[in-house]
Amino acid sequence: MTIEEIKEVVRQMLLEIQNGSGRPVPIFHDELRPIGDLEGFDSLNAVEATSLLSEYLGNEIPNDLMLPMYPGEQLTINEIADRLYQIIGS
């Protein structure tokens, strides 16, 4: 799976969560930070997102996938996709 394919899976998952919660869906771009940029998207949604990604990708994904290494530095879609790529490989 390419990095671009992984980004598309991440976007689809975010779309599903935002639509499912009835919250607005912005135009997704690679530098969007789900925690912080998506209305109502918080750390609980990040855990939900990780569970969905595990299901979609058929791999066990760590629960802290979308959480930053340092407080206040929320991850972008690019950074999340990079982490996923390292976990699942090419």
Domain 3-88 fold is: 1.10.1200
In this prediction, residue 22 carries a pLDDT of 94
DSSP string, 37-54: HSTT--HHHHHHHHHHHH
From first CA to last CA, the distance across the chain in angstroms is 5
For position 72, what pLDDT does the model report? 76
For 46, residues 6+ apart whose C-beta sits below 8 A from its C-beta are 34, 35, 65, 66, 67
- Domains of the chain by residue range: 3-88
pLDDT in tens, the chain (90 residues): 899 999 999 999 999 999 999 999 999 999 999 999 999 998 899 999 999 999 999 999 998 898 887 777 899 999 999 999 999 875
Q: What's the confidence (pLDDT) of residue 73?
A: 86
Other CB atoms closer than 10 Å to residue 30's CB: what's the count?
14
